[in-house]
Amino acid sequence: MPLWLLILILGFALIAALDKVMIPSVRWFFRRRLERAVAKLNQRLERPIQPFKLARRYDMIQRLIYDPQVGQAIAKHAQAQGIPENVAFQEARRYAREIVPSFSAIAYFGFAIRLTRFLSNAIYRVRLGHYDEAELRQIETEATVVFVMNHRSNMDYVLVTYLAAERSALSYAVGEWAQVWPLSRLIRAMGAYFIRRRSRNDLYRRVLATYVRLATEAGVTQAMFPEGGLSLTGALAEPKLGLLKYIVDGHDPKGRDVVFVPVALNYDRVLEDKILTSAARAQERRFRAGIGVVCYRMLRQLWLWMTGRYHRFGYAAVSFGRPVRLTEFTSGKTGDVTKSLAQDLMRRIGEIVPVLPVPLVAWLLCEHGTMSRSALTQKIGQLIEQMPLAHIHMPRQDWDYAAEVGLRQLVERGVVSSEAGRFSPVDSERDLLSFYANSIRHLVPSEDSSDISAPAK
């Protein structure tokens, strides 16, 4: 026997031995260590990580595509498209592989939480707004918690992940923007699942609905944005019903309850504000900022930090509202309650949107035009008195300082001009000023407000 053939045979034998004996043993060893680490982690988390979230991705995909509801959808899709069922089955498998995450507790709690904490505090002065600790602690341990949030910025993911770190690991639904390597691998490891927001494919929708149902039944803590996408005008948008309907339709009244926790976010500066206002002017949801633009802006901020000229982007605040239990909400109601539930959740989110210095100043300048510093301070006090139920972050509890903070941000960015002690909106940037004013528009009494959500022409 030639020596090269003997070496080749021995090589294949070694690979087979590793595959059948050594690799499973190594996997078992590390998985046991991981399970012990997760067990310790669950002791300090308010809502422990569910076994469903820790299941192997391959097993989860198999469970998903062999679900009876998905099987029926595969048969129906094959008949409608005139294709063999095995071809439709492979299509469903492809959708499942696209949707199902590969959660890593080590990546989430060892890396992601530290990164979100660093980024949040490096970019903003983070403040926790309305927060009823006792009410949140009354949520049953066995219930599935779903954080329902308004969508102002992609920093929303970072902020809420950071602030909820002591409660549980969140599972987000993320759009197509995140399906870019290597970002997609990191996002999957954090437990997020990808969705095609504009897909009209019935088979895809059934696979996605089944995954959401299985995750909800298993008690996985989730976070979702009912608006479906970033707000282009800064105002709260009408809710989309997709994911919410999957949760409602898949809920078993006799099983685990679902508790929705409204979450409201607001910023003194939204990182993507110019991109969003440009999209609003063009009346299309196409964001033209490529990876090169993002890298340039990151490097520019790094350079400012290295040269001692970096300043944080003002305040970012998060408020948590009154929870909604699905069993209580549906009690005594007939028919599809998804729309009424979505409207109730958006109303609760709107009630707790934090009021920050920049939105306050932006609102007053949009309403009253050119103002002096003293007049602006006086108007801030009057406006706050008209919003007794609003959750207002007043830095140093000083109206004059709040005016200073808001004006400084807007003047530095060229949104507001300063001349002879008077401050005026810059006409070319009026849509940006409206963007921030709109974030609190719904909180201002109707007789003192006007609709400024449309971008300037």
Give the tens place of pLDDT for each residue, 199-218.
889 999 999 999 999 999 99
453 near 428, Cβ under 8 Å?
A: no
Specify the residue for token string 């910025």: 153
Confidence check: pLDDT of 448 > 70: no
CA distance 89 to 110: 37
Percent of the chain beyond pLDDT 70? 83
Q: Where are the beta strands (DSSP E) in 99-198?
A: 125-128, 144-149, 171-174, 193-194
Q: Give pLDDT, residue 457.
A: 33
What is residue 198's three-state secondary structure? Answer: coil
Confidence of residue 31 (pLDDT cuts 50, 70, 90): low
Helix (H) or strand (E) holding 9: helix 3-17
Q: Give pLDDT, residue 5.
A: 62
DSSP collapsed to 3 states, 383-451: HHHCCCCCCECCHHHCHHHHHHHHHHHHHHCCCEEEECCEEEECHHHHHHHHHHHHHHHHHCCHHHCCC
Q: Where are the beta strands (DSSP E) in 276-392?
A: 315-320, 324-325, 371-372
What is the phi-psi region of residue 391: left when phi exceeds 0, alpha when psi lies from -120 to 50, beta otherwise?
Answer: beta
Q: Tens of pLDDT along 318-346? A: 999 999 999 999 998 888 999 999 999 99
What is residue 247's three-state secondary structure? Answer: helix
CA distance 13 to 267: 61
Q: Give pLDDT, residue 454.
A: 40
253 near 327, Cβ under 8 Å?
A: yes
Percent of the chain beyond pLDDT 90? 51
